[in-house]
Amino acid sequence: MRWSHSLSLAALVATMVAPAAVGKEAKPSSANNVSSAEVPAGANPQERALRTVSQMSVDEMLRLFVGHVGIDLGVLGGMPGVPPPAGSRNSAGFVPGVERLGVPPLWETDAMLGVGNLRDKMRPGDTATAFPSTLLLAASFDPDLADRTGSALGSEAHRKGYNVLLGPGLNQLREPRNGRNFEYFSEDPLLTGLMGGAMIRGIQSQHVVAAAKHFALNSTQVNQNTLDARIDEGALRESELLAFQIALEQGRPGSVMCSYNALNGTPTCNSPWLLETVLKKQWKFDGWVMSDWGATKGADFANSGLDQQSGSEIDAEPWFADALRQSVQKGQTSKRRLRDMALRIVRTQFRLGLDRFPAARTEPFDPEPGARMALEVARRGIVLLKNNGILPLHQPEAIISAIGGFADRGVLRGSGSSEVTPTNGKLFVMPAFDEQGYEAVRNPTFLPSSPVKVLREKLPLAMISYDPGMGAKDAALAARNADTVLLFLWRHETETRDSPDMRLPLGQNELVEAVAAANPNVVVIVQSGNPVLMPWADKVKGIVWAGFPGQEGGKAIAEILTGEVNPSGHLPFSLFRSHEQLPFPELPNQGVAFFKPVTVNYKEGADVGYRWLAKSGQSPLFPFGHGLSYTTFDIANPSVGAVKPLRISAVVRNTGGKAGRAVPQLYLTQTPGEQTIKLAGFASVLVEAGESKSVQFDVDPRILANYDAAKGKWVVRAGSYNFALGKSAGELGPAIKVDMQTITLDP
Ligand code: BGC
């Protein structure tokens, strides 16, 4: 039985209880031994794959092209129950292998916040580390951290029996109301590209394929299946495509997932321009393209560069089975193309060692390395936005009033296919929607890591009360006599849904007003997966942005509030003052009936986020790149080391009294004849009090260039360029002038 696809797979995912333990060091399975006898494992992946594919029948190749939903969709509610294919492991996806030739199946799982287990229904009780949101990881501005996080995540996936991780999500935060931004990195292509690429490297170091998604311009959720996202080619190349391109160069992912939406009139999964010309020819991508779940609409998509149909049960047909076979028989798809599709999948498997290091469930599962990594990411990502001397909490015997955010229970997480069942306790779900129904994905859900509980442990002499913040008056009373008020605010986000605006829900702005009127010493801690409006920012003494901080998030928040950890996160997006500051003050197409065709013309082009604000002469509430520390830094002594390639160095000095991590940033501010602002480099450096450290920025020429779509080239014009060192896009030092010769680069 089939269903025509009408919903994103957040509602429809899965895996199954897997076979017994084999660790990473495991010997190849017997199936693999067959192949290694025929094709020496030492041979290079291309040769081995060519020889393997040359022995495949058409049927065997077709098996590799049709992905299946790896669970019985009935368990998620709202869909008829059909058992998943034999061999699947109750996860998002499964693709059978070709055992006789040593090609293993693909066991695919979501994704970047941990090994997915949607609403704990895919594999009830199967826990994995619930990592902080990708957006919080990005706030570290540290590719090394992203690499290590990827590797911890890859290791968990592998130990759970999965060899494909369906991520990372590299979409730009173009639309700050997009419900999935918490799964993405930033509003900047360089930051996204370098962090995403590093994460891919980490994942794949564990013999797990990373699938970079959602290619491309999948900037919103509602009606994404019928969305035609329109943008000028040059602008696209300079923004989101640049993020993908850099990540691909840095991380060489085994797979790329094309998206639900259309791009300039053509579904991305059926776009020869995007998949064949840009991705495979110009960028030399040698892995395979998989569709998003339900995004394949015909066998002809194979002719456009799509190599694998994912989640075929939610498409109208398993197009890449019989329909594709017939297409080959009729000469509409070439046999060569078919072999290329198989070669891409098999070569990637051999390159990343999926055959030699089979993914298998390892019991008992050791949650410790993941938990440690999750804690480190939360500590490094949480951003101190404002601090009028109130933090760190310095009075051990203080009376502290903690209010709101279910902070006595845990920390918020985002929802959708990225959901994980944490290893450290039970989830707390606000059952706003029927927990059995499809809309359950919208229920705000909290991971079991209470900041209030940890604060009570860390400050045993303090008196810490908790008020849920349900009523502004009650909260104001609770706040009135405290030395310090810790006010926890939140906004939930979920896949399948965009927020209609950037406001905090449920009267939380009024709550801040009432509490701030009752007590001058308020610290606000915001948990969100997107920029939110903070109309009360002037009325409180401290503001912390904690993203969705993952299963160890409560601890990290408490450590930052007490000063045990010196904050070092920096905003990976701009915090706007109002909706009027956005290119689209109203979310486009809001309220249009589900599945009606919609169009968005991204008129801001490449000027996303901080670049849009600068171009339109507006100042944000807090700029991109902003983040405070409990020490102070000076970033100075710029020098231009070389021009081709361009290298700019500087010295970071810790001018305060505490060790801390600085995130010096380099921005391009002027090209010949034009003012601009573009992140051109960044670093994350640990500096002891009083110490100085030098940092170097190697500037990618594409940051200086414009993409000339008519010529099909990146062009850096000859002339004078200005750069500036800064602590954020809004706090820049003096101009550093560099004269450049013309540079022309292939796309
Ligand atoms: C989502 C993907 C996800 C896939 C499998 C889709 O609905 O858009 O991000 O990887 O489902 O769960």
Per-residue pLDDT band at 42 (split at 50, 70, 90): low
Mean pLDDT along residues 631-641 = 96
- For residue 2, the model assigns a pLDDT of 35
- For residue 7, the model assigns a pLDDT of 42
Query: How much distance in Å is there from the Cα of 414 to the middle of ligand 1?
Result: 14
> What's the token pair of residue 157?
């996936």
- For residue 723, the model assigns a pLDDT of 98
526 close to 534: Cβ distance less than 8 angstroms: yes
d(CA 665, CA 726) in angstroms, rounded, equals 5
Residue 28 has pLDDT above 60, yes or no: no
Peptide bond between residue 364 and the one before it cis (omega within 30 degrees of 0): yes
- For residue 573, the model assigns a pLDDT of 98
- For residue 73, the model assigns a pLDDT of 86
- For residue 92, the model assigns a pLDDT of 97
State which of 6, 13, 165 you would mutate to test the pocket of ligand 1, scoring each by most atoms of that ligand within 8 A of its C-beta. 13
Q: pLDDT tens digit string along 377-408?
A: 999 999 999 999 999 999 989 999 999 999 99
- For residue 644, the model assigns a pLDDT of 85
Q: What number of other Cβ atoms are within 10 A of residue 465's Cβ? A: 14
- Percent of the chain residues past pLDDT 70, beyond the cut: 94
Tell me the catalytic residues: 292
Q: 371: part of which helix (H) or strand (E)?
A: helix 368-381
Query: How much distance in Å is there from the Cα of 574 to the middle of ligand 1?
Result: 27
Per-residue pLDDT band at 74 (split at 50, 70, 90): confident
- For residue 612, the model assigns a pLDDT of 98
* Residue 664 three-state SS: coil
Residues forming beta bridges with residue 57, ordered by sequence position: none
d(CA 92, CA 528) in angstroms, rounded, equals 26
> What's the token pair of residue 292?
């998003």
Per-residue pLDDT band at 673 (split at 50, 70, 90): confident
Q: pLDDT tens digit string along 563-596?
A: 999 999 999 999 999 999 999 999 999 999 988 9
Ordered by where they begin, the domains of the chain are 57-352 (3.20.20.300), 375-581 (3.40.50.1700), 631-745 (2.60.40.10)
Q: How is 24-91 classified by DSSP, letter by letter?
A: TTPPPPHHHHHHHHHS-TTS-HHHHHHHHHHT--HHHHHHHHB-EESS-GGGGSSS---PPPTT--BS
Q: pLDDT tens digit string along 696-729?
A: 999 999 999 999 999 999 999 999 999 999 999 9
Residue 247 has pLDDT above 50, yes or no: yes
Residues 6+ apart with CB under 8 A from 545: 139, 382, 383, 385, 526, 528, 569, 571, 575
Residue 213 CA: nearest ligand 1 atom is 9
Mean pLDDT along residues 193-199 = 98
Tell me, using a 6 A CB cutoff, whether residue 216 lines ligand 1. no
Q: pLDDT tens digit string along 439-481?
A: 899 999 999 999 999 999 999 999 999 999 999 999 999 999 9
735 close to 666: Cβ distance less than 8 angstroms: no
Tell me, using a 6 A CB cutoff, whether residue 165 lines ligand 1. no
- For residue 10, the model assigns a pLDDT of 47
Axis-axis angle for helices 58-65, 322-329 (nearest 10): 130
Peptide bond between residue 431 and the one before it cis (omega within 30 degrees of 0): no
Q: What is the mean pLDDT of the chain?
A: 93
Mean pLDDT along residues 551-557 = 98
State which of 417, 420, 494 you would mutate to test the pocket of ligand 1, scoring each by most atoms of that ligand within 8 A of its C-beta. 417
- For residue 411, the model assigns a pLDDT of 98
Q: pLDDT tens digit string along 555-568?
A: 999 999 999 999 99
Tell me, using a 6 A CB cutoff, whether residue 417 lines ligand 1. yes
DSSP class of residue 250? Answer: H
d(CA 544, CA 65) in angstroms, rounded, equals 46
Residue 29 has pLDDT above 60, yes or no: no
Mean pLDDT along residues 38-58 = 86
Per-residue pLDDT band at 23 (split at 50, 70, 90): very low
Tell me, using a 6 A CB cutoff, whether residue 608 lines ligand 1. no
d(CA 174, CA 602) in angstroms, rounded, equals 9
525 close to 487: Cβ distance less than 8 angstroms: yes
Tell me, using a 6 A CB cutoff, whether residue 9 lines ligand 1. yes
Terminal alpha carbon distance of the chain:
44
| Largest CA-CA distance found in the chain, in angstroms, rounded | 81
Mean pLDDT along residues 110-124 = 96
Residue 513 has pLDDT above 50, yes or no: yes
Per-residue pLDDT band at 76 (split at 50, 70, 90): confident
Beta strands 665-671; 719-728: pairing state: antiparallel
Tell me, using a 6 A CB cutoff, whether residue 259 lines ligand 1. no
DSSP class of residue 278? Answer: I
Residues 6+ apart with CB under 8 A from 79: 3, 11, 12, 73
d(CA 71, CA 17) in angstroms, rounded, equals 11
DSSP class of residue 717? Answer: P
Residue 311 CA: nearest ligand 1 atom is 5
d(CA 194, CA 247) in angstroms, rounded, equals 6
- For residue 11, the model assigns a pLDDT of 39
Query: How much distance in Å is there from the Cα of 309 to the middle of ligand 1?
Result: 13
Q: How is 527-557 classified by DSSP, letter by letter?
A: EESS----TTGGG-SEEEE--S--TTHHHHH
In single-letter form, the type of residue at position 258 comes to C
Residues 6+ apart with CB under 8 A from 671: 704, 717, 719, 721
Mean pLDDT along residues 133-159 = 98
Per-residue pLDDT band at 16 (split at 50, 70, 90): very low
